[in-house]
Structures are given as structure tokens and as C-alpha cells.
Amino acid sequence: MKDIKKNLGKIKLAVTVIIIIGVAVHLALVYNAARSIEITDKKIVGVYPEYPSVDEYEVKFMMTLNNPKHTNVEVDYISYNIYIENEYLGNGEKPRFSLEHGANNQTFIFSFSIFDLTAPARSVLMNGNADVTIKGDVIIPAKFLGLFTWRYIKIPYTIHEKVELT
């Protein structure tokens, strides 16, 4: 009877160790995949008037996120702040989505009123060649078994280009 209890205790210990190792390996794989995400391309596509309105405009920009690992990674959100001629225009975010292996293109459209700009910034934009800056972060949660987040990985980015009103 003592031998059975002894062996049962060893089996319980072995199962517990295997479960702990499995959880640790899974957590390491997810964290490693999240840390390997890269922004490989980012650009401002343009600034466009929203038809039929004469005072509403859109800033369209894109970025490519590369996931080199074969583990899908969940992105909590991508945030962005938009500046025209160093004047803060507004912000936005794209919430929760998943990144599969390889390049993943993300497109963003931000709408604003031309009257949100000061007269000098509005004039430069209307005449073309305005400096547009977009700053933001890609926030990736490192989740423990997909249940709760134990750490966030933050990838900052900046896009700065001269754009013509199209």
C-alpha cells in the first residue's frame, strides 16, 4: 500500500511538472512571437476632400506589420495622433485584431474638418506641400494561456511626410 501511495505521489508530481513546463513553453512562444513583430513599411497615402462636403477631409495612411513567427499574435490596438504643420489635429485607434504569420497590411482613415486647423496651417494645406506627422504605438498584450494579460509590448512609430492635397 505504501508503494502505491509513493508511486501515486510521483505520478502527481510528474504530471504537475509537465503541466508547468507546457505552460512556460507556451508563454515563452507567445511572448517571443509578440516581441518579434516589426513595422516594415509605413506611409501616408494622402489627404483627400470628402465629397460632397467642402470642409471635411480625410488623412489616409498605412503600415505593414510583419509577424515572422508561425504563432498568431493578438494586437490590443494601434493608436495614432495626427499633426498637420506641427498642429495637433486629433487621434484614433484600431482596436483588437490578430496578426497571422507574414506581412499584414493595415490601412487607417482619419476624418477632420478643415476648420479644425488654424488659418496658417489651413493655408499651407490648401496650397499643397503640408507637413503631416503621425505618431502612435502598436500595443501587443502578452497573454497567459489567452486568459489574462501579464505584460504589454509597445512598438512606437512615427510617419513624417510632406503631402499635397489631392
- Domains in the chain, CATH or no CATH each: 2-163 (2.60.40.10)
Window from 24-38, 43-57, 82-96, 129-143 with minimum mean pLDDT: 24-38
Q: Is 34 exposed, middle or buried (CB count within 10 Å of its CB: 0-12, 13-18, 19+)?
A: buried
| pLDDT band, residue 22 (cuts 50/70/90) | confident
6: region left, alpha or beta (phi > 0 left; psi from -120 to 50 alpha): alpha
Q: Is 91 helix (H, G, I), strand (E, B) or coil?
A: strand
Q: Please identify which residue in the block is written with the cell numbers 499584414.
A: 104
pTM: 0.81
Q: What DSSP string runs through 9-45?
A: HHHHHHHHHHHHHHHHHHHHHHHHHHHT-EEEEEEEE
Window from 17-21, 101-105, 135-139, 148-152 with minimum mean pLDDT: 148-152
